[in-house]
């Protein structure tokens, strides 16, 4: 029996807009990856499947116990829960403490059960997870990556038969992501994974592709999915070319038929004028010709309507399959040194003194575990934070882009954001750039505050790369909120960019495709 089954799911917003309709599917004891462009409704579909949202129409049958991971645990950040309380271990620890202090109660011994070594065992597990070894450490003081690891650890230790993981790798460094992959492989139940991380999606055995056209199932992992999509893209292009050829042939034939009909009519008028044939015979010929022309016209109209319908269906499919373009402005950069740090000691870190240089056109991957000081180094480069000791010299303009997309004015439209922050950019050029990332006609007037994370990132990348002086880009995990296609597009654009950048990312595929020339790795002493 499937662990999850849903039939004819529709979801409509309060304003009447339809997000998706007639979605059906089922999931057995498997690993399923749910993918799709930002804004298509993946998170809403997940909420419907686990019962958090009631669909407008349709039914869901969830026959197994489940646990869900969500990207932003706001309840944890706002609570006073300790790690032990979050893991449900505080009662056992408290009972052990009371017994060690001399208390004797059968109830206390029942609470402890066989977990007398819980404190040491929990400390070892917390150390292995890169978390504070103090089980009473407040969750609200954990970093984003630590919170993610804590939540995921709890889920994998649960008795749930189905895990629903919504972007579980967003805040994980390389080591933590490898831990997650190993836990996914070892988990005995089913996993529904919502992710844009190709490394994780290679661990699934089925891909659900959600689009405006519905839900399409691909029986394989991410690599199989991309092969199938490419095959489908080529097939649609061939079919569209065939339809266009048929339309052209139909119009040419229709033109020939019109010309023949005009010739016959002209010939009939001449014979009627010179009286060479009886009028009754000419009238019969005219009626026959008119009937044939009418039938031919009807056939042409039916054929034309059929071809137009096929063309519209293919155009929708082609739009879904068509790649987007993100054009980063590129001016040739000279290989001059623009950043020099000598024996720099970063605050808030345990790093050895740093010495390095960066040229204007260098592309650098800044690597290191969560909390090692990558973001601090980027702030030092901008002058927001001072070195504890050492020297730093920056003789170029910098443009910093964090995960909060602060460069975008939420009260301005996409078009106005580009025009205001890119000096000298013409409106026609701005519209072309926006069209490249999927926004055409009136959609360019959407306000910054209503854009999804991925949409904001693409707009922000257009802004930072279209400055008059080509800046050194400081990119703090720019891929974190991008869908699969957008990640690939951004990586290709960064690879083609002729200026320099310092990139922080934990997505190996994205890093390689972005084309860094070298890596600076931060390691704690």
Domain boundaries, the chain: 4-81+138-220, 232-321, 337-521
Q: Which CATH architecture has domain 4-81+138-220?
A: 3-Layer(aba) Sandwich (3.40)
Rounded to an integer, the average pLDDT of 71-97 is: 77
pLDDT in tens, 235-285: 888 888 888 888 888 788 878 777 776 776 676 666 666 666 666 665 566
The CA distance from 423 to 467, in Å, is 7
Encode burial over 231-261: b for 16+ CB neighbours within 10 A, e otherwise: eebeebeebbeebeebbeebeeebeebeeeb
Residue 322: pLDDT band by 50, 70, 90 thresholds?
low
The CA distance from 390 to 351, in Å, is 13
Low-confidence winner among 102-116, 287-301, 363-377, 415-429 (lowest mean pLDDT): 287-301
pLDDT in tens, 488-504: 888 888 888 888 899 99
Residue 184: pLDDT band by 50, 70, 90 thresholds?
very high
**Assigned CATH for 337-521:** 3.40.50.300
The whole model's pTM is what?
0.76
Does 141 score more than 90 pLDDT?
no
pLDDT in tens, 106-137: 888 888 778 788 888 888 888 877 788 888 88
The CA distance from 339 to 471, in Å, is 12
pLDDT in tens, 375-429: 889 999 998 889 999 999 998 888 888 777 778 999 999 999 999 988 888 999 9
The pLDDT value recorded for residue 45 is: 92
The pLDDT value recorded for residue 454 is: 72
Beta partners for residue 215, in sequence order:
210
Same fold, 4-81+138-220 and 337-521: yes
Rounded to an integer, the average pLDDT of 144-156 is: 86
The pLDDT value recorded for residue 77 is: 62
Backbone angles phi, psi at 7, to 5 degrees: -140, 130
3-state DSSP call for residue 5? strand
Strands (E), 90-175: 162-166
The pLDDT value recorded for residue 513 is: 94
CA dihedral (378, 379, 381, 386) positive or negative = negative
Rounded to an integer, the average pLDDT of 56-84 is: 79
Most confident option among 269-273, 304-308, 503-507: 503-507
The pLDDT value recorded for residue 494 is: 87
The pLDDT value recorded for residue 291 is: 63
Return the percentage of the chain with pLDDT > 90, whole number. Answer: 26
Low-confidence winner among 152-161, 176-185, 231-240, 292-301 (lowest mean pLDDT): 292-301
HEC profile of 350-408: CECCEEEEEECCCEEEEECCCCCCHHHHHHHHHCCCCCCEEEEEECCCEEEECCCCCCC
| Largest separation between any pair of C-alpha atoms in the chain | 131
The pLDDT value recorded for residue 73 is: 56
The CA distance from 255 to 318, in Å, is 30
Q: What is the dihedral of CA 44, 47, 49, 55, to 10 degrees?
A: -60
Query: What is the average pLDDT score of the chain?
Result: 84
The pLDDT value recorded for residue 525 is: 65
Rounded to an integer, the average pLDDT of 310-324 is: 70
CB of 93 within 8 A of CB of 135? yes
The CA distance from 325 to 329, in Å, is 12
Which residue is it, tokens 């949409």? 455
The pLDDT value recorded for residue 293 is: 65
């Amino acid at each position: 029996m499937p662990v999850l089954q849903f039939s004819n799911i529709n979801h409509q917003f309060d304003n009447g807009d339809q997000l998706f309709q007639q979605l059906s599917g089922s999931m057995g004891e498997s690993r399923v990856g749910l993918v799709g462009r930002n804004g298509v409704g993946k998170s809403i579909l997940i909420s419907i499947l686990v019962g958090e949202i009631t669909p407008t129409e349709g039914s869901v049958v969830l026959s197994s116990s489940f646990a869900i991971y969500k990207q932003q645990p706001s309840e944890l950040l706002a609570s006073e829960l300790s790690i032990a309380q979050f893991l449900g271990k505080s009662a056992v620890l408290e009972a052990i403490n009371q017994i060690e202090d001399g208390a004797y109660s059968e109830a206390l011994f029942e609470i402890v059960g066989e977990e007398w070594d819980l404190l040491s065992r929990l400390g070892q597990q917390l150390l292995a997870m890169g978390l504070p070894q103090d089980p009473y450490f407040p969750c609200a003081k954990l970093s984003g990556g630590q919170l993610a690891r804590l939540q995921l650890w709890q889920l994998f230790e649960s008795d749930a038969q189905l895990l629903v993981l919504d972007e579980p790798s967003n805040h994980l460094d390389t080591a933590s992501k490898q831990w997650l992959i190993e836990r996914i492989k070892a988990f005995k139940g089913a996993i529904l994974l919502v992710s844009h991380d190709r490394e994780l999606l290679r661990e699934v055995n089925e891909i659900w592709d959600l689009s405006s056209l519905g839900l399409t199932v691909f029986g394989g992992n991410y690599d199989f999915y991309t092969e199938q999509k490419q095959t489908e893209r080529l097939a649609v292009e061939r079919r569209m070319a065939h339809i266009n050829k048929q339309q052209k042939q139909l119009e040419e034939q229709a033109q020939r038929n019109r010309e023949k009909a005009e010739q016959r009519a002209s010939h009939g008028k001449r014979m009627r004028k010179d009286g060479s044939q009886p009028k009754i015979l000419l009238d019969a010929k005219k009626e026959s010709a008119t009937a044939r022309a009418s039938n031919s016209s009807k056939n042409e109209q039916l054929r034309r309507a059929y071809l137009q319908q096929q063309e519209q269906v293919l155009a929708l499919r082609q739009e879904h399959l068509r790649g987007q373009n993100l054009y980063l402005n590129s001016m040739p950069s000279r290989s001059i040194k623009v950043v020099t740090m000598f024996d720099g000691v970063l605050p808030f870190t345990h790093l050895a003194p740093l010495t390095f240089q960066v040229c204007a056109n260098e592309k650098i991957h800044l690597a290191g575990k969560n909390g090692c000081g990558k973001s601090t180094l980027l702030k030092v480069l901008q002058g927001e934070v001072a070195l504890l000791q050492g020297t730093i010299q920056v003789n170029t303009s910098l443009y910093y882009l964090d995960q909060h997309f602060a460069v975008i004015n939420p009260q301005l439209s996409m078009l106005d954001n580009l025009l205001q922050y890119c000096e000298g950019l013409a409106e026609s050029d701005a519209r072309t750039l926006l069209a490249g990332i999927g926004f055409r006609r009136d959609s360019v007037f959407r306000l910054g505050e209503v854009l999804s994370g991925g949409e904001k990132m693409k707009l922000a990348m257009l802004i930072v790369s279209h400055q008059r002086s080509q800046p050194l880009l400081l990119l703090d995990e720019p891929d974190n909120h991008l869908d699969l296609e957008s990640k690939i597009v951004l990586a290709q654009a960064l690879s083609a960019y002729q200026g320099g950048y310092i990139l922080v990312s934990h997505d190996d595929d994205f890093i390689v495709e972005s084309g860094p020339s070298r890596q600076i790795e931060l390691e704690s002493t």
